[in-house]
Structure 1
Amino acid sequence: MVSDWSTGTVSGGEKITPTGRILRLDVPSWPGNLPGQHLDLRLTADDGYQAVRSYSIASYGPGTTVELAVDELPDGEVSPYLVEDVQPGDQLEVRGPIGNYFVWREQQTEPVQLIAGGSGIVPLVSIVRAHQASSSAAPFRMIYSVRAPEDAYYAAELDSYSGDRFSLEWVYTRTTPAGWARPAGRIDRAVIEASALPASDDPTVYVCGPTGFVEAVARILVDLGHDPGRVKTERFGGA
């Protein structure tokens, strides 16, 4: 359901990576959201100029608290303000929730493969949180690619979910932790063959990250026999 513009008040937030920040908003009119949805956020300058950007939602379900995680882009119009300047008590305009394609519902019984690049983890965090809180026995696997350990969003939380229903494979593209077995490098066919659910399991796959990352991963998945109709993608550019 897409609502009209509503006003949310920043209730808290903290830096989560060198360039990323979690923001929590209290939006009294928020109708709740499905895991995987996003919202639009609008900033209005003193001269009336408006900038609108879309951000994935890390929280899910009912309630008026909306959690975002924003990565600051040096040339961005909106993200530097959200990461560096916004303070508790400030008000922001939001509209949403938006999107029914890139969502997970508890009624789904098939295995799920999640693949994220950088801040593309945000909608997948909401999906994992919903799955962990549900009674679903569907197996979840995640591959999460980041430049270096300090660039990972929600690292401790995601690691804490590892168990019978959820497994997590880290891929570091520039710097690995000390003693890490795999050399730094991007997600490629070998990584997906070794770590992702096989096409024979008929999983639904959610891929989110920068456009080039998403397109490359989706091509590999289809080449490996995954049904293109079950490979759901969400991509982003500068903000």
Structure 2
Amino acid sequence: MTETTTSPTSPASSAFVPPSRFAVPGRIAVSEQAAAVWQTATLTEIRRETPHAATFRFAVPAWAGHLPGQHLMLRLTAEDGYVAQRHYSIASAPDDSGHIELTLDHVEDGEVSGWFHSVAEPGDEVELRGPLSGFFAWPGDRPALLIGAGSGVVPLMSMVRHHRSRGLSVPLRMLVSARSPEDLIYARELGTETTPVFTRSAPSGVPVGRMSAAHVAPLLAEQPPGGWEAYVCGSNAFAEHASRLLVAAGQPVDRIRIERFG
């Protein structure tokens, strides 16, 4: 579950507005109509990612499309009428027409994540509305430096998948922190664009420790033409830590976009 830390963008009459319309590059307007309409989504597949995280694939025939980095609102309604709503980042690339994927951690005592991990099965229906927020979206038109921790990798993986599916030549790099290789979400999909950082245990010969300047500074030193647009996603503490590392390495503050758990 994530919440953007920036104010919402202006509404537009269509799903997306080209970024050139805005003073801040990449700030995408979202359709007020699409964001307000609840749609029925049918769970079609569950894939285990780690011992505590799984990907849930949904068929959403009327989905308006999204950009990598956007999120949605999910609603569950119990038989007694009790309603629970959560914000979740979208994991899938935009090209997966009629389907979306969410990757959820099993949060201790989490009523929604608990239902997904313990009760949900293919054929179950939930309600969704979105996509929401354009500030954290990456249209694929500028170099992207992605930094995440734990399930903060979810919206970043949507960007990586988009980069791959479109065969984009624009530079993209990702640093992702996990407790151990077993806790690294999407480990089977990660490629040469990704550098994992392990904080508790690691394969033989790989240092263990918190993400540091030694991980961030080399990426800032290899500045691509136009510089990096940095996207940071994780807990409050991680977002603050990673942002400080970026600034110390020379990344302009106004080119750091943050989405944090809340």
TM over 0.5: yes
Which residue number in structure 2 is paired with residue 234 of structure 1?
259
Which residue number in structure 2 is paired with residue 139 of structure 1?
171
Q: 1:68 aligns with which of 87, 102, 105?
A: 102
Distance 1:50 1:199, change over 3 A: farther
Which residue number in structure 2 is paired with residue 23 of structure 1?
56
Q: Quick check: 1:189 aligned with 2:213?
A: yes
Q: Quick check: 1:100 aligned with 2:134?
A: yes
The two structures, once aligned, show a CA RMSD in angstroms of 1.6
Q: Quick check: 1:44 aligned with 2:70?
A: no
Alignment of 1:159-170 (within 5 A): 159=191, 162=192, 167-170=193-196
| Alignment size in residue pairs | 226
CA-CA distance at 1:14 after TM superposition: 1.6
Q: State the percentage of identical aligned residues.
A: 42
Which residue number in structure 2 is paired with residue 33 of structure 1?
66
Distance 1:55 1:189, change over 3 A: same
Distance 1:200 1:125, change over 3 A: closer
Residue identity matched to 1:73: V
Which residue number in structure 2 is paired with residue 224 of structure 1?
249
Task: Spell out, residue by residue over 1:76-130, the C-alpha distance to the aligned partner (whole angstroms, 9 max, x if none).
Answer: 1211111221100000111111111111113x23x22111101111111110111
CA-CA distance at 1:198 after TM superposition: 3.2
Which residue number in structure 2 is paired with residue 174 of structure 1?
200
Structure 1 counterpart SS, 2:67? coil
Alignment of 1:91-130 (within 5 A): 91-106=125-140, 108-109=141-142, 111-130=143-162
Which residue number in structure 2 is paired with residue 198 of structure 1?
221
Maintained 8 Å contact 1:32/1:60? no
Maintained 8 Å contact 2:136/2:259? yes
Residue identity matched to 2:220: L
Maintained 8 Å contact 1:199/1:226? no
Structure 2 counterpart SS, 1:176? coil
Maintained 8 Å contact 2:220/2:249? no
Q: Quick check: 1:215 aligned with 2:249?
A: no
Q: 1:8 aligns with which of 36, 41, 49?
A: 41
TM-score w.r.t. the length of structure 2 is: 0.82
